Structure 1
Amino acid sequence: MSFLLLVSSLIASLTGAPADIRPAQETTTEPPLSALLQCRSEPSPLIRLDCYDRLLDKVDNIAVIPLEKTGPAWRQAMEQEMKRTDHSTGFITTQSEGIPTRVILTTPAIGVLPPRPVLMLSCIDNITRIQVALAKPQDSGTVMISTDITQFSADWFLRENGYLLESSRGLPGIEQLKRLMTGHTLTIKTGNGSQITFNISQLEQAVKPLRTACRW
């Protein structure tokens, strides 16, 4: 069972009444711990993702995120990730043809079971944004951001009922994004102690359309 298919059907259901949206459900059949640990020990992020996905094919019920509690930015990130047809972790980029140009980059978290958080970088209305669509709501926007090059703390905003982490927009967000551009992996440690890691090895090249659109 694919989490993206679940999200796709749920997003489609938003055109109907809120009652049509199923509440979150807990997994009733879980992969064995030994199998999860074996996946976790895989050194390659891509092999690790594939290992987790194969385990989930055997799971009967996967937790469903209640979409009535999420918002448009969260859905934008998840919808863009639905275009991914393999287990790659490079950035997917979409760019509008209108004025002002709208550029959106997304990449999924690595080394975790679905539903996976999604890192979304964007230039919308000439404003640079760094956002993370979360699988579970958070209650604190304080984050520790680290790459293999740099580390710093920041107070990000919690939006969309705690399902979206967002940096300060504009110049502060640009400065934070610049600090990430030479890294290979990005790890965000949230206020509750959980860690989310993303592959950003292609960021410096991938972010060029965004920089052009937002003129920095």
Structure 2
Amino acid sequence: MSEAGEGVMGMLTLLPLLASLTGQPVVPGGLEKCQSEQAPTLRLACYDALARFRHAPAQQQARDSGFQMTTDPAQGDRVLIRTLPSVGIITVSCQSGITRLSVRPATPWQGDTVKADVDGEPASGNWFVRDQGQLLEFARGLPAINELRHWFGHQSLALSNAHGQAIYLPLDGLESAIRPLRQQCRWGGPS
């Protein structure tokens, strides 16, 4: 294992100990869930969400984080994350020049279909249910870019299924927050 890899592993093994020193409760299974995440951007989003949970005062934990840009330290890829307690985490990333869009619902998604609406109007149906409902992923690349552009200037995205499950994701602030990622992924066309 490389020195960098050993350093990361050492830090990860110390994370539960450091969390216990803060007096904050450790999310049961949270660290293991993050470690088992295969996609680097989702793993990073998981660790970020876990760190925010552990360090945020109790009264702030129920609030929307707003869009936050982070950078994957291993790859240098930009990741835009919005965490909504009781709803889920929306992630937009640029991996190897490819735009990716996903939502990790707070509760597992039921069924294998996703209906999308933006401000009450039907949106693209290019959503896929992954990991036994733990992840909703949109088509990558140009379809994701076109869908994200469609969201600019709108207020909310609603994802629903035939089982009556629905999640609502606010889109305010997306257009300005996503600019650095757009540059990294080299989106063409109007800003």
Q: CA RMSD in A?
A: 2.8
Q: Please state if 1:200 is matched with 2:185.
A: no
Aligned length: 153
Q: Give the aligned partner of residue 23 of structure 1.
A: none
Which residue of the other structure, out of 89, 108, 114, is the alignment partner of 2:83? Answer: 108
C-alpha distance in structure 2 between counterparts of 1:174 and 1:147, whole Å: 15
After superposition, residues 34-73 of structure 1 pair within 5 angstroms as: 67=33, 71-73=37-39
Q: Give the aligned partner of residue 41 of structure 1.
A: none
2:151 is matched by which residue type in structure 1?
L
Q: Greater share of strand residues, 1 or 2?
A: 2
Deviations 1:141-178 (A, max 9, x none): 42222222743240422222320110011111111111
2:116 is matched by which residue type in structure 1?
I
Q: Is the 8 A contact 2:81 2:90 kept in 1?
A: yes
SS at match of 2:146: helix
- Calculate the TM-score normalised by the size of structure 2: 0.67
Long gaps (5+) in structure 2:
1-23
SS at match of 2:132: coil
For residues 164 and 97 of structure 1, do their structure 2 counterparts lie closer, same or farther at Cα, with a shift above 3 Å needed? closer
Q: Is the 8 A contact 2:44 2:72 kept in 1?
A: no
Q: Please state if 1:91 is matched with 2:59.
A: no
Which residue of the other structure, out of 111, 125, 136, is the alignment partner of 1:140? Answer: 111
Q: Please state if 1:11 is matched with 2:65.
A: no
2:80 is matched by which residue type in structure 1?
L
Q: Is the 8 A contact 1:94 1:103 kept in 2?
A: yes
Percent of residue pairs bearing the same amino acid type: 30
- Calculate the TM-score normalised by the size of structure 1: 0.60
For residues 177 and 129 of structure 1, do their structure 2 counterparts lie closer, same or farther at Cα, with a shift above 3 Å needed? same
1:214 is matched by which residue type in structure 2?
C
Q: Give the aligned partner of residue 21 of structure 1.
A: none
Q: Give the aligned partner of residue 62 of structure 1.
A: none
Long gaps (5+) in structure 1:
15-66
SS at match of 1:154: coil
Q: Give the aligned partner of residue 180 of structure 1.
A: 151
For residues 213 and 177 of structure 1, do their structure 2 counterparts lie closer, same or farther at Cα, with a shift above 3 Å needed? same
1:10 is matched by which residue type in structure 2?
G
After superposition, residues 143-162 of structure 1 pair within 5 angstroms as: 143-148=114-119, 150-162=121-133
